[in-house]
Amino acid sequence: MIPEIGQFALALALSIAVIQSIVPILGAARGNILWMQSARSSSIAQLIFIGIAFAALMRSFVVSDFTVRNVVENSNSLKPMLFKVAGSWGSHEGSLLLWVLILAAFGAGVALFGSNIPDGLKARTLSVQAWISTGFLSFLLLTSNPFERVFPPPPDGNDLNPLLQDVGLAMHPPLLYFGYVGFSIVFSFAVAALIEGRVDAAWARWVRPWTLAAWMSLTAGIALGSWWAYYELGWGGWWFWDPVENVSFMPWLLGTALLHSAIVTEKRDSFKSWTILLAILTFSLSLLGTFIVRSGVLTSVHAFAVDPQRGLYILGLLALAIGGSLALFAWRAPAMEGGGFFKPISREAGLLVNNLLLAAATGTVLFGTLYPLLMEAVTGEKISVGPPFFNAAFIPMMLPLVVVMGIGPFLSWKRADLMGVFQRLRFVALLTGLATLAVWYLAEGGPALAYLSVAIAVWLLFATLREWAGRIRLFDVPLRDSLRRARHLPRAAHGMTLAHAGLALAMFGFIGSSAWKSEEVVFVRPGESITIAGFDVRFDGVEQVRGPNYFADRGTLVVSRDGDPVTVLYPERRSYPVAQSTTTESAIRSTLAGDLYASLASPASDAVVDPGAWTLRILYEPLVFFIWMGSTLLILGGGLSLSDRRLRVGAPRRRIRAAAQTTPAE
Amino acid sequence: MGRILAALPILIALVFGAFFLWGLNPDRDPSAIPSVLISQPAPEFDLPAIEGMDTPGLSRADLAGNPAPVVVNVFASWCVPCRAEHAVLTRFVERDGVRLFGINYKDKPKDARGWLENLGNPYEKIGSDLNGRAGIEWGISGVPETFIISGDGTVLYRYVGPIVGEKAEEEFTTALVQARAAAGAGS
């Protein structure tokens, strides 16, 4: 009964979405205020009905209702409760339901909290949002019904892919989708603005908090996914340039560009068509991600069960959404430019460089990701594009970006005094030089690029702190005055400092763990020791242990340093009998200086030759912790900025209202 | 100029869209890596019988000069999916009269014997590949893997993973039927 309620709720949501696709936008065209305002209630109703559907699916998972095919295929009665719940979004159908739920949540969010947005723009935005909603709800109902029943019901389910049975990963899809799908509302705003043919500073102000919210979630989702890959896959890396990682990274890169270009549109009434284009492209890349993950055009470790029929449907949706919006853009954008004038040395120019580099980097990642497909289509040859390409193409673009990032915040709008900026950055340059020399002295044996990257990261960190110190006039005035200034500084300024410093910290992690990583893959017998990065690791053998829905081989590694005990690591290899697969659970000793990382590789084939011997992978990765710390700061910085906007949006509201009253005269 | 620039994104999107449409072709499997062995003569190898078993060993010579295509299956007693696949292979042998050869990959002779006694032995000949040398020659990426070899010893088809489940069995049977048809046409 409950699954049928869920399905019925979905059908209702679809019909509401269809109405919302038409009525508010017609109302906006005809100036019918009632029609326009219908978007508010229909957005909320959509959220409620999709929420009911989602709750119904989740209930089926929680009570292990094996009459529902989706539950059979992705759950098992022995699975821990957390993963039963997470199983709701572990499959293609369930995750798509989560997708439309978040889509509806953003629509309802604008309906509820966007009281300062003019009626016309809001109605059009929500109609566009409903177009997307109609597309995906119909996709869900027609090709991927999550509530399909099976008869006769099997006694137990097939279990969720064990790789996904992990706390980090249970949270990863919701956050990632919140980011991915969050950009939908920005897309809707952009399309609505194109339809209206008007983009101004106020538009950018309304769009920015939503961009920021989506960007924060995407950052969190990507960081969590990367953390999961780090300790669950057992390869000792945190980023593999896998197609599915790339498709989540591209919207992030472009979303970051959008975040910055929207500032220019808001503050200087410039970069308008560019901001609109970024808004469209960011969500287009999110859609592209959905397509790539679910259609099987590329091969990846993450892909869902593949069905070309579904792929065709999504491609159709993509063609409508991306093709339609870009065609609209081609038609309307040329009439839209104008805005502020700026000198080559100014904050606008700095942000322009930021945008160009981020867009170029996105293009590079896109090209690298799709190259195997393009190559196969043109020459029939099968190739794969791996980390070497991405590292060689991506890093050289990011480094100049980070250099400019250090300078950018010092530049003033319109025209900046470069000499003055350099004067203020003298000490930063000196400190950077000293710190780099220190790193060079302490950590030998890295590639030249690593030292350069360290220098640039240090530069960014100190320049960011210097800018913040300059704003509160630290050491110029008594400390008490500085603190008072810090309190009165807009939160967005603190947010920027945090986020930029976060990137610098994360860079230390990226560089340290790639350039100074030590890795040993060895064949060990119980009692043998390995030395890595100054640690002595003794292998004490493997024992069998039992978990709720798995068996595991658990190795014991006693770690000491110069004879003093440090820790004991227990890497595991789990086999899940129901799902018929195995996972590695690496054991990690994490400190600020670096991670000692151990994982058990397969013994099986060599057990004949030497029973009790195992292949062990041990790595020492310096500074990995900084990646997670830096990512956290990025998110916190975004949050701080967001909280500031919510406070400030209230202030100019009166002005906008007043302006809005005069517009009908046009 | 502005007009051309503004139209650029949609043009690029269209080109990408065309590639995606091509990529959705259901016959295309992006994860399939063509084996370099296909259409090549089977690799040179010579394996002794499993210690303590009557089933003779396997070498390259056994794969040439057969009247019909034969099947070579790489298996091991420690490989759990092989157990499931064993039933399918036995069925192929008993029902379709497939000639099945085995390569017992990195397995203890005692375990292999026990495994075959337990489940039955559908293999005509089994080579014992204790050190995995023949496995390297065949370029296997894991166990089980199954090859179809033509009568004159050419590798026609490779299946990676267990032939278990409707889809896999169908795919394998199709390949086998094609191989037999080709052999029939050739002779």
Q: Has residue B21 been placed in a domain?
A: no
- B7–A contact, CB cutoff 8 A: yes
Token pair recorded at residue A289: 């991600």
Compute the distance between CA of residue A390 and CA of residue A367 in angstroms, rounded to an integer: 10
* Helix, strand, coil percent values for chain A (each to nearest 5): 65, 10, 25
Q: Using CA coordinates, name the residue in chain B closest to A372.
A: B30
> Does residue A229 sit in the same domain as residue A370?
yes
Q: Has residue A424 been placed in a domain?
A: yes
Q: Has residue A630 been placed in a domain?
A: no
- A333–B contact, CB cutoff 8 A: yes
> Does residue A468 sit in the same domain as residue A573?
no
Could you give the number of structural domains in chain B? 1
Token pair recorded at residue B92: 């192929």
What pLDDT is attached to residue B36?
Answer: 67
- Tell whether the torsion through CA atoms of A83, A86, A90 and A92 is positive or negative: positive
Q: Has residue B7 been placed in a domain?
A: no
ipTM score of the complex?
A: 0.81
Residues of chain A with confidence (pLDDT) below 50: 604-607, 647, 650-666
Q: Which CATH number do you get for residue B83?
A: 3.40.30.10
Tell me the residue type at B131.
Answer: N
Residues of B in contact with A368 (CB under 8 A): none
Q: Has residue B14 been placed in a domain?
A: no
Instruction: From residue A2, give the alpha-carbon distance in Å to each of A60, A85, A664.
Output: 8, 16, 49
> Cβ–Cβ of B6/A329 closer than 8 Å?
yes
Reference A471, options A409, A551, A517, A402; nearest CA is A409
> Cβ–Cβ of A370/B13 closer than 8 Å?
no
Residues of B in contact with A281 (CB under 8 A): 9
Q: Has residue A205 been placed in a domain?
A: yes
Residue in A308, A312, A319 closest to B17 by CB: A319
Pair B72, B101: CB distance under 8 Å: yes
> Cβ–Cβ of B30/A298 closer than 8 Å?
yes
pLDDT tens for chain B, 187 residues long, are 678 888 999 999 999 999 888 888 766 666 666 666 777 888 888 899 988 888 899 998 888 888 888 999 999 887 777 888 898 899 889 888 889 999 998 888 888 898 898 888 999 999 998 888 888 888 887 788 899 998 888 888 888 888 888 888 888 888 888 888 887 664 4
Compute the distance between CA of residue A231 and CA of residue A168 in angstroms, rounded to an integer: 10
Q: Using CA coordinates, name the residue in chain A closest to B6.
A: A330
Residues of A in contact with B20 (CB under 8 A): 291, 295, 297, 315, 318, 373
DSSP string, A391-424: HHHHHHHHHHHHHHHHHGGGSPSS---HHHHHHH
Residues of A in contact with B22 (CB under 8 A): 377
> Cβ–Cβ of B6/A315 closer than 8 Å?
no
> Cβ–Cβ of A382/B17 closer than 8 Å?
no
Token pair recorded at residue B52: 């303590």
Residue in B9, B25, B76 closest to A329 by CB: B9
> Does residue A386 sit in the same domain as residue A422?
no
Q: Has residue B102 been placed in a domain?
A: yes
Tell me the residue type at A423.
Answer: Q
Instruction: From residue B164, give the alpha-carbon distance in Å to each of A397, B121, B160.
Output: 48, 18, 11
DSSP-derived secondary structure letter, B31: T
Q: Has residue B23 been placed in a domain?
A: no
Pair A298, A282: CB distance under 8 Å: no
Strands A587-590 and B125-129: unpaired
- A373–B contact, CB cutoff 8 A: yes
Class of residue A389 by CB neighbours under 10 A (exposed 0-12, middle 13-18, buried 19+): middle
Residue in A299, A372, A608 closest to B107 by CB: A608
Pair A504, A523: CB distance under 8 Å: no
Q: What is the 3-state secondary structure (H, E, C) of A545-594?
A: EECCCCEEEEEEEEEEECCEEEEEECCEEEEECCCCEEEEECEEEECCCE
- A385–B contact, CB cutoff 8 A: no
Domain boundary among A355, A371, A394: A394
Q: Has residue A631 been placed in a domain?
A: no
What pLDDT is attached to residue A338?
Answer: 64
The 10 Å Cβ neighbour count of residue A145 is 17
Residues of B in contact with A323 (CB under 8 A): 10, 13-14, 17
Q: Has residue B24 been placed in a domain?
A: no
> Does residue A176 sit in the same domain as residue A154?
no
Residue in B10, B13, B30 closest to A297 by CB: B30
pLDDT digits 0-9 by tens, A281-312: 999 999 998 888 887 777 655 555 566 678 88
Pair A358, A401: CB distance under 8 Å: yes
Q: Using CA coordinates, name the residue in chain A closest to B28.
A: A297
Q: Using CA coordinates, name the residue in chain B closest to A298.
A: B30
Q: Could you say which residues from 589 to 628 on chain A have a Cβ atom under 8 Å away from some Cβ of chain B?
A: 604-609
Class of residue A608 by CB neighbours under 10 A (exposed 0-12, middle 13-18, buried 19+): buried
Residues of A in contact with B26 (CB under 8 A): 308
Residues of A in contact with B82 (CB under 8 A): none
Task: Identify each DSSP E strand in A64-156 by its residue range.
Answer: none
Q: Has residue A637 been placed in a domain?
A: no
A606 Cβ contact partners less than 8 Å away, ≥ 6 residues apart: A523, A613, A615, B106
Compute the distance between CA of residue B154 and CA of residue B151 in angstroms, rounded to an integer: 7
Q: Has residue B13 been placed in a domain?
A: no
The angle at the Cα of A101, spanning A99 to A107, to the nearest 5 degrees, equals: 105
Q: Has residue A609 been placed in a domain?
A: yes
Residue B97: helix, strand or coil by DSSP? coil
Instruction: From residue A34, give the alpha-carbon distance in Å to each of A24, A133, A189, A195, A488.
Output: 8, 22, 20, 20, 42
What pLDDT is attached to residue A550?
Answer: 86
Q: Using CA coordinates, name the residue in chain A closest to B22.
A: A377
Compute the distance between CA of residue A104 and CA of residue B127 in angstroms, rounded to an integer: 61
Distance from the Cα of residue A446 to its chain's centroid: 30
Pair A189, A206: CB distance under 8 Å: yes
- Tell whether the torsion through CA atoms of A209, A215, A91 and A127 is positive or negative: positive
> Cβ–Cβ of B78/A605 closer than 8 Å?
yes
Residues of B in contact with A271 (CB under 8 A): none
Compute the distance between CA of residue A640 and CA of residue A405 in angstroms, rounded to an integer: 19
Q: Has residue B17 been placed in a domain?
A: no
> Does residue A504 sit in the same domain as residue A549?
no
> Does residue A381 sit in the same domain as residue A402?
no
> Cβ–Cβ of B13/A315 closer than 8 Å?
no
What is the least distance, in Å, from the CA of B184 to any CA of chain A? 31
> Cβ–Cβ of B107/A323 closer than 8 Å?
no
What pLDDT is attached to residue A399?
Answer: 94
- A370–B contact, CB cutoff 8 A: yes
- B19–A contact, CB cutoff 8 A: yes
What pLDDT is attached to residue A110?
Answer: 93
> Does residue A157 sit in the same domain as residue A235?
no
> Does residue A449 sit in the same domain as residue A313?
no
- B17–A contact, CB cutoff 8 A: yes
- B24–A contact, CB cutoff 8 A: yes
Residue A10: helix, strand or coil by DSSP? helix
The 10 Å Cβ neighbour count of residue A588 is 18
Could you give the number of structural domains in chain A? 4
Give bridge partners of residue B162 from the DSSP assignment.
none
- Tell whether the torsion through CA atoms of A631, A634, A640 and A643 is positive or negative: negative
* Continuous H helices in A296-346: 308-318, 324-332
> Does residue A553 sit in the same domain as residue A612?
yes
Note down the domain range covering B84. 35-186
> Cβ–Cβ of B10/A330 closer than 8 Å?
yes
The model's pTM: 0.82
Residue in A273, A308, A323 closest to B24 by CB: A308
Residues of B in contact with A319 (CB under 8 A): 17
> Does residue A145 sit in the same domain as residue A195?
no
> Does residue A149 sit in the same domain as residue A215?
no
- B78–A contact, CB cutoff 8 A: yes
Compute the distance between CA of residue A400 and CA of residue B61 in angstroms, rounded to an integer: 63
* Interface A-B: count of C-beta contacts within 8 A: 90
Place of tokens 């209202």: A657
- B16–A contact, CB cutoff 8 A: yes
Question: In angstroms, how far is the first alpha carbon of chain B from the final one?
Answer: 68
Element (DSSP H or E) covering residue B4? helix B2-23
> Does residue A535 sit in the same domain as residue A509?
no
> Cβ–Cβ of B105/A605 closer than 8 Å?
yes
Note down the domain range covering A335. 166-394
Compute the distance between CA of residue B2 and CA of residue A365 in angstroms, rounded to an integer: 26
Instruction: From residue A484, give the alpha-carbon distance in Å to each of A91, A187, A644.
Output: 52, 39, 17
Q: Has residue A314 been placed in a domain?
A: yes
> Cβ–Cβ of B6/A333 closer than 8 Å?
yes
Phi, psi of A90 (to 5 degrees): -85, -15
Instruction: From residue A129, give the alpha-carbon distance in Å to each of A44, A507, A654, B104.
Output: 12, 36, 27, 59
> Cβ–Cβ of B3/A273 closer than 8 Å?
no
Residues of A in contact with B4 (CB under 8 A): none
Residues of B in contact with A337 (CB under 8 A): 2
Phi, psi of A445 (to 5 degrees): 80, 10
Q: What is the 3-state secondary structure (H, E, C) of A514-546?
A: HHCCEEEEEEECCCCEEEECCEEEEEEEEEEEE
Place of tokens 């999504």: A314
DSSP-derived secondary structure letter, A322: I
Instruction: From residue A622, give the alpha-carbon distance in Å to each of A237, A371, A394, A533.
Output: 12, 33, 22, 10
B154 φ/ψ sector (left φ>0, alpha ψ -120 to 50, else beta): beta
DSSP-derived secondary structure letter, A651: T
Token pair recorded at residue B157: 């088809």
Compute the distance between CA of residue B106 and CA of residue B140 in angstroms, rounded to an integer: 12
